[in-house]
Structure 1
Amino acid sequence: MEAETMQEKKQFRLFDAVLMSVVVVLVVESAAPAAAIGPSQFFWWGALLLFFFLPYGLISAELGTTYNDEGGIYDWVKRAFGRKWGGRAAWLYWINFPIWMASLAVLFNEVIEQIFRVKIGTGMGIGIELLFIWGVTIICCYPIADSKWILNLAAIAKVIIMLSVGGLGIYHAATHGLANDFSGTAMLPKFDATSLGYISVILFNFLGFEVVATMAGDMKNPKKQIPQAIIWGGVLIAVFYLFAAFGMGAAIPSSQLSTSGGLMDSILLLVGHYNWFVVTIGVLFMYTLVSNLVSWSAGVNYVALYAAKNNDLPKIFKKESKKSHMPIGVTILNGVIATVLVIAAPFIPNPNIFWAFFSLNVVALLGSYILMFPSFLRLRKIDGDRERPFKVPGRPLMIKLMTWIPMVLLILTLILTAFPLNGGQAEMSSKIPVLVGTVITIIIGEICINYAEKQGK
């Protein structure tokens, strides 16, 4: 009987794994920043799919199936390099979430203005952003945040939005021509500061595939199915993003594409007039902003909770609900930090507040993954005898290349995102707030980690 039960459990098919990975990783609001790169984004998607996503997916699959504790990336880094580095990975992995929440609160406001054709003042705007932040925060304090129906509805909404933008773009191209040059030459990479600064968004769009590794126990043949799910999932995600990006590129020249309002601006231009369809897409878009945060909250919050229980983050991070055992302390902190950011937003010298917050959240998240790759190599060395349900194939040289190339890409991307390179006024106003925010984030993280160490003594 027990054998039959186990057999029934191991029915998680390749299709299920691919679908789940696409649902979790696909983030609609990052389609516009990626499209702002222009037609050359097609080159970057292909190159990063091969040189970053494939090795990242395989490595995270090995780590996730070998060390399946609740700590995730924190646990991997801690095992490899000690508690302090584990705490840093946990901090960066978590702190990206409240910053992301602030960026989506700003975007939520902008979408309301676009679809309902109203102008919201600063005071009213902050009020709506706070309602968004604390509405999401309250939901994340309850087990409803783990409900599959939120994810399933979000998946449907995301597919409708992406297919609508791409389909309308094809129709616009056939009837009115293209707003951008999509010839072979135009798709070659550009190395100007603006285009390179947006590449971090493509890397951001690939992150989160650790979820596939957690399904290994329910697969009949994880050694075969995990790499297949990663490859097909990555290809499908790239196709969805590029399909939507083509739609935006058909309507708006990339130099004029807004990183925040680009998607809804494109819908309005592609449809040609304001109607019920525009409002429907806008409402679905707003729902995906909420559902993205709710769906991701458990992952980042439990990593922070796990690190706090090991005294690598302050005690407030490990406060749990007595009934549901939800991580209340860290969830409330998310709301507090996001609140501080949106209230401070009017004083930030950046004309695009969404991008200022969003790029800072991307920098923090990518920073946590930098530590993952050397952890993989070190754990292979110091814990090589441990059973690995899935093991990245390849000779030693190939394994090293699969480790160091993605790590170097992450480091270069962070530099391009946060550091002004040409000294132009537009670049300075865009990147200086991100750079300052990054430094402040790292300093606060170090203070928290050292304080946690003293609390644990």
Structure 2
Amino acid sequence: MNNKKLGVMGLSLLSINSILGLKNIPFASTIGPSAIVFWIIAACLYFIPISLMVSELSTTYPDQGGLASWVKRAFGERASFLCGWFFWVANFTYYPSLLIGITVNVAYAIRQPQILDHTWMTTSISIGIFLFVTALTLRGTKMSEKLASIGAPLGVLVPALLIFGFGFASMFTGHHSATEFTAKSIAPNNLSLDTIMFLSSLMFAFSGMEMLGTIANDVRNPQKTFPKAILTASILIGAVYILATVAFQFVVNITPDQTATALYVFADTVTKQFHLPFNLGQILGICFVLSVGGSLSFLIINPSVMIRESGKNILPASLTKLNKANMPTNLILWQAGGVTAILILSSFIPTISAALNMLVLMATLAFFIPYIFLISAYLKLRITDRKSVRPFKIKHNVVAYIIAGVGLLSVIGTIVLTLIPSSTTTWTEYAPLIIGPVVFSGLGLLFYHFGKKKEHTTLKKAS
């Protein structure tokens, strides 16, 4: 009997749910109509190559499914630990950007947007939210399951329908476009360091396919299902991103200094255009607060569980121990401390949008480092492990190497470009991009060194 239930549609929906984020629409809109072309380039250079490689790895090694375990098979324990370590610390910069977004949503949900003019107040609220959700997380996942089941449809479906609905209604009811859409404006004519870095942020918006490693065993006929699901997800995610960006830009013209509040600039414009009897911004704010609040607990758990698994024999026992609810308490608390520190440091950035832009760049840089491990592991296993059965396989070696090469160049290029400051970047915005990876790399290597030294000493005593 075949117990594998996931077909093309199921796998496509899971991929879309893991990747699609409406918060990326306002950011994409800051570049103007050429965002349409950049979305397509990001999908071709990053999303499709990564998806194909993850599909092959996850179906070839289903019992080991997961980023750190593939790296361990290819390069050993140290590389696996460092990969898991970077994935864990990457969230130190991702969570602050997410929390600032939540705070913006809270401010509009309670109709007090003036809160956002005070960076320290914004920081305090963000820290308070994170510590509260962290405390709930330490008690287990039942509460977050309930919140997610309510928040996910409200936070994605309702805002998507509202943005699409009012955006296209504005188009077809004779309202003037806030953005000029022409062949010249859509084509990325003025390529600069800033626009190329913008492309890297859109590539980051397609991240998340590595999660397929946990469900590979549940996929029916992977050789046919994976490529069809990847194509379907690519088209649907790309279409949503492009159409939502067009609808958004038709209503409002957004500049980079409005990134944090762009969604509510859109909502206020729509409210006035259609003389709505309700405040659209408040509705969107409530939806996003419920959505992110429900999913935040799971986002807190996953990296800590991953680093615990890859570092059980390396990290101090006090860090990896579990509480009664089976949660890695100290790892989660250390994570909370790191996030709090970064939020406090980000409060020195003059505006909330500038702080958000800096954190997005930091998260992009940190998250792409594990992808170098991933692609390198794929290449090595493809070359050295010819015996394993590959239920899904990129059929020709040359094609596989080209796809991996495109993905690797895209990821490395993104990291390098993120480290090159633009003409408008201040020292307070740029320093964390350089100092952060260096400090966290050093800490990871120190943990590994002392962990292995302790393990060697223990084995020597036992013998």
TM superposition score normalised by structure 1: 0.89
Alignment of 1:96-175 (within 5 A): 96-115=90-109, 116-120=111-115, 121-141=118-138, 142-144=140-142, 147=145, 150=148, 153-174=151-172, 175=174
Q: Distance in 2 between matches of 1:443 and 1:290?
A: 33
Aligned position for 1:25: 19
For residue 74 of structure 1, give the secondary structure of its aligned residue in structure 2: helix
Q: Distance in 1 between matches of 2:65 and 2:221?
A: 25
Contact 1:78/1:85, CA 8 A, preserved across alignment: yes
The alignment status of 1:87 with 2:81, answered yes or no, reads yes
Q: Distance in 2 between matches of 1:315 and 1:453?
A: 13
Q: Distance in 1 between matches of 2:57 and 2:81?
A: 18
Q: Distance in 2 between matches of 1:223 and 1:232?
A: 15
Aligned position for 2:303: 300
C-alpha spacing 1:215/1:101, structure 2 compared with 1 (3 Å): same
C-alpha spacing 1:68/1:220, structure 2 compared with 1 (3 Å): closer
Contact 2:68/2:81, CA 8 A, preserved across alignment: yes
2:367 corresponds to which of 365, 368, 373: 365
Q: Distance in 1 between matches of 2:351 and 2:429?
A: 6
Instruction: Supply the AA of the counterpart residue of 1:220.
Output: R
Q: Gapped runs of 5+ residues in structure 2? A: 457-463
Aligned position for 1:353: 355
Alignment of 1:253-332 (within 5 A): 253-255=253-255, 258-272=258-272, 275-311=278-314, 313-321=315-323, 323-332=324-333
Aligned position for 1:375: 377
Q: Report the Cα offset of residue 123 of structure 1.
A: 4.8
Residues 242-285 of structure 1 show CA distances to partners (whole Å, capped at 9, x for unaligned) of 23222321233243562222122212222227834321111111
Q: Report the Cα offset of residue 314 of structure 1.
A: 4.6
Contact 1:173/1:250, CA 8 A, preserved across alignment: yes
Aligned position for 2:450: 451
Moved more, 337-346 or 254-263: 254-263
C-alpha spacing 1:198/1:438, structure 2 compared with 1 (3 Å): farther
Q: Distance in 2 between matches of 1:74 and 1:146?
A: 25
Contact 1:247/1:266, CA 8 A, preserved across alignment: no
Instruction: Supply the AA of the counterpart residue of 1:385.
Output: K
Q: Report the Cα offset of residue 96 of structure 1.
A: 1.6
Moved more, 121-130 or 351-360: 121-130
C-alpha spacing 1:149/1:290, structure 2 compared with 1 (3 Å): closer
1:47 corresponds to which of 41, 45, 48: 41
Q: Report the Cα offset of residue 293 of structure 1.
A: 2.7
Q: Report the Cα offset of residue 237 of structure 1.
A: 1.6
Q: Report the Cα offset of residue 439 of structure 1.
A: 3.2
C-alpha spacing 1:418/1:162, structure 2 compared with 1 (3 Å): farther
Aligned position for 1:196: 196
Instruction: Supply the AA of the counterpart residue of 2:132.
Output: G
C-alpha spacing 1:276/1:409, structure 2 compared with 1 (3 Å): same
Moved more, 372-381 or 262-271: 262-271
Moved more, 157-166 or 344-353: 344-353
Contact 2:65/2:214, CA 8 A, preserved across alignment: no
The alignment status of 1:387 with 2:389, answered yes or no, reads yes
Aligned position for 2:209: 209
Aligned position for 2:223: 223
Contact 1:420/1:428, CA 8 A, preserved across alignment: no
Contact 1:363/1:414, CA 8 A, preserved across alignment: yes
C-alpha spacing 1:233/1:156, structure 2 compared with 1 (3 Å): farther
Contact 2:99/2:130, CA 8 A, preserved across alignment: yes
Q: Distance in 1 between matches of 2:167 and 2:399?
A: 41
Q: Report the Cα offset of residue 158 of structure 1.
A: 0.8
For residue 23 of structure 2, give the secondary structure of its aligned residue in structure 1: helix
Aligned position for 1:184: 183
Moved more, 31-40 or 252-261: 252-261
Contact 1:360/1:438, CA 8 A, preserved across alignment: no
Moved more, 107-116 or 81-90: 107-116
Moved more, 341-350 or 281-290: 341-350
Q: Distance in 2 between matches of 1:52 and 1:104?
A: 22
Q: Gapped runs of 5+ residues in structure 1? A: none
Moved more, 296-305 or 433-442: 433-442
TM superposition score normalised by structure 2: 0.88
Q: Distance in 2 between matches of 1:218 and 1:288?
A: 27
Aligned position for 1:414: 415
Residues 314-340 of structure 1 show CA distances to partners (whole Å, capped at 9, x for unaligned) of 54542212x432332322222111111
Contact 1:75/1:86, CA 8 A, preserved across alignment: yes
Q: Distance in 2 between matches of 1:151 and 1:224?
A: 31
Q: Distance in 2 between matches of 1:16 and 1:198?
A: 31
C-alpha spacing 1:196/1:326, structure 2 compared with 1 (3 Å): same
Instruction: Supply the AA of the counterpart residue of 2:178.
Output: A
Q: Distance in 2 between matches of 1:298 and 1:448?
A: 21
Contact 1:248/1:262, CA 8 A, preserved across alignment: no
Q: Distance in 1 between matches of 2:347 and 2:450?
A: 31
Q: Report the Cα offset of residue 364 of structure 1.
A: 0.7
Q: Distance in 2 between matches of 1:101 and 1:309?
A: 24
C-alpha spacing 1:337/1:71, structure 2 compared with 1 (3 Å): farther
C-alpha spacing 1:256/1:377, structure 2 compared with 1 (3 Å): closer
Q: Distance in 2 between matches of 1:122 and 1:45?
A: 32
C-alpha spacing 1:113/1:150, structure 2 compared with 1 (3 Å): closer
Q: Distance in 2 between matches of 1:51 and 1:442?
A: 27
Instruction: Supply the AA of the counterpart residue of 2:114.
Output: K
Contact 1:163/1:244, CA 8 A, preserved across alignment: no
Contact 1:90/1:307, CA 8 A, preserved across alignment: yes
Q: Distance in 1 between matches of 2:199 and 2:11?
A: 27
Q: Report the Cα offset of residue 373 of structure 1.
A: 0.8
Aligned position for 1:401: 402
1:61 corresponds to which of 37, 49, 55: 55
Instruction: Supply the AA of the counterpart residue of 1:249.
Output: Q
